[in-house]
Chain A
Amino acid sequence: MITETFIHGSGPVYSLDPRPKFIMLVCFVVLFLAESTLAVQGAMLIFILFWVGLSLGPRRVLTPVKSILPILVLTALLTPPFNTDGAVLLEIGQRRILTDRGLLLTAALIIRFTGITAGFYLFFSTTETGPFILALRAFGLPYRAALTVTISLRYIPDMFSTYGRISDAHKLRRAGFEEREAGRRHGFRHRLNNMFPVLVSVLIHAVKSIPALAMALDSKGLGRSNPRTSCRKLRPWKSIILQLIAATLIMGLATAVSVLL
């Protein structure tokens, strides 16, 4: 499926229940965003990258970093000139370009963003969509909201192929006349002109499937007053008590260290 970010594999991060995993992800993001020392942030980053390497293979350690390289470069170039307190390290004319505080801040921003990125990457590579949504439900997401997300995930691949099929169909119905146009330049306007009817068609197709979907949901009893049962469940909380304790210890340690330092 196109929407699958899950990478098949095994290992401790995979067998971790999605609930403690999600708690840890949220804690890490909060800790990264909180003001703390460079050392603590660096330690957390290394901790996450270590698990990325262990669960997904050493080559994948660089994947999350690579995807954000351009924005890291921008951060490195643009942060120092806006933060010019402290001892000047570089000056052009009267303008302060780089100061020690600016440098520290830049490093902190880079580590913070890389850390958050790696955390999310690890989470979504090792957690399947179904359990992820079940975990959100365990943290209080209402059933109907979860169902909405599940259904939209079911329709995304559909909508992709609808888009492809409809633009193909438009092309096919034009087929044979393309030669006539071949002499013309396929400029921006031309492409926009071709795109518009495709977008209208996709939207019509989508919008008219709404009542049909609503009927389908009704015919399956959504919105009844009685409580629902559910065949797909996560393990009972009791059975993941050890995982929860371990997660709390790790996060507690990290929090304590960043508060104390």
Chain B
Amino acid sequence: MERKNISGRIAAIAIMTAVTMVFTYVVRIPVAPTRGYINLGDVAVFFTAFTFGPFTALISGGLGPAIADIVAGYSQWAPITFAAHGLQGFVAALIIKALSTRKFAEPAAGFAGMIVMVGLYLLGGAFMVGFGAAAVEVPMNILQSAVGVAGGFVLSRAVRKAYPPVKRLAW
């Protein structure tokens, strides 16, 4: 691209924010029979990271789940969510960029993203509700993130095939 395509970038970030928010908010998969859902926010975050690159992933990955928190009435978590999911996507996309063609690039990126997200939630949670309560969330977050990596990877492939021009939108 010769020209800096500002509106293209804004458009990509805005649309992917909306997608991530909706994936976080409406699509929930019930897991254990006891309690709890995992949401598909991470799928959208990793999808964005694999398809659009680090900056789109950083902002839309953070903003989407944060807005979902606000709308769902958990706005107190929004700042932590913004950091955790934003950096999750950012780190994953950076690693993909660095390892681009190498084998295991996606799993490595996914793993790093997972560590960042789980770590930040634990840290933030420890401040807000104490270490013990925050630690309870860890396994759930790991599971959710793992589903996210796998789902994001498969979806990114499918979409790149169905809509080849999408590669122009990465930066």
Which A residues form the contact surface with B (CB < 8 A)? 2-3, 5, 33, 63-64, 67-68, 71-72, 74-75, 77-79, 81-82, 105-106, 109, 112-113, 116-117, 119-121, 123-124, 144, 147-149, 151-153, 155-156, 158-160, 163, 188, 192, 195-196, 199-200, 202-204, 206-211, 213-215, 217-218, 222-223
**Residues of chain B from 82 to 114 with CB closer than 8 A to chain A in the complex:** none
Could you tell me if A203 and B19 are in contact, using CB atoms closer than 8 angstroms?
Answer: yes
Q: How far is the CB of A114 from chain B (nearest CB, A)?
A: 9
CA distance A163 to B86 in the complex (A): 23
Could you tell me if A199 and B17 are in contact, using CB atoms closer than 8 angstroms?
Answer: no
Determine the residue in chain A with the shortest Cβ distance to B127.
A33
Could you tell me if B75 and A74 are in contact, using CB atoms closer than 8 angstroms?
Answer: no
Could you tell me if A223 and B7 are in contact, using CB atoms closer than 8 angstroms?
Answer: yes
Contact of A121 among B5, B19, B23, B73 (CB under 8 A): B73
Q: Select the residue from B15, B71, B74, B136 with max chain A CB neighbours within 10 A.
A: B15
Q: A78-B133, A159-B18, A214-B5 are in contact. List 19 more A-B contacts (CB 8 A).
A: A78-B136, A79-B132, A113-B76, A116-B128, A120-B70, A120-B76, A148-B17, A148-B59, A152-B13, A152-B18, A153-B67, A156-B21, A156-B67, A159-B19, A192-B29, A199-B27, A206-B16, A207-B51, A213-B15
Could you tell me if A151 and B67 are in contact, using CB atoms closer than 8 angstroms?
Answer: no
CA distance A33 to B159 in the complex (A): 43
A211 in contact with B8 given A75-B130, A78-B133, A78-B135 (CB within 8 Å): yes
Count of interface residues, chain B, beta-carbon cutoff 8 Å: 55
Could you tell me if A148 and B75 are in contact, using CB atoms closer than 8 angstroms?
Answer: no
Q: How far is the CB of A240 from chain B (nearest CB, A)?
A: 24
Q: Select the residue from B70, B73, B74, B131 with max chain A CB neighbours within 10 A.
A: B73
Contact of B130 among A3, A64, A109 (CB under 8 A): A109
Contact of A155 among B14, B158, B165 (CB under 8 A): B14
Q: Which residues of A contact B51 (CB under 8 A)?
A: 207
Q: Which residues of B contact A113 (CB under 8 A)?
A: 76, 128-129
Could you tell me if A152 and B71 are in contact, using CB atoms closer than 8 angstroms?
Answer: no
**28 residue pairs from A and B, CB less than 8 Å apart:** A2-B71, A3-B71, A75-B133, A78-B130, A78-B133, A78-B136, A79-B130, A79-B132, A82-B132, A117-B74, A117-B75, A120-B70, A121-B75, A124-B70, A144-B10, A147-B10, A149-B17, A152-B17, A160-B26, A204-B159, A204-B163, A207-B163, A209-B15, A210-B8, A210-B15, A211-B11, A214-B7, A222-B10
CB of B169 closer than 8 Å to a CB of A: yes
Q: Which residues of A contact B67 (CB under 8 A)?
A: 3, 152-153, 156
CA distance A147 to B127 in the complex (A): 32
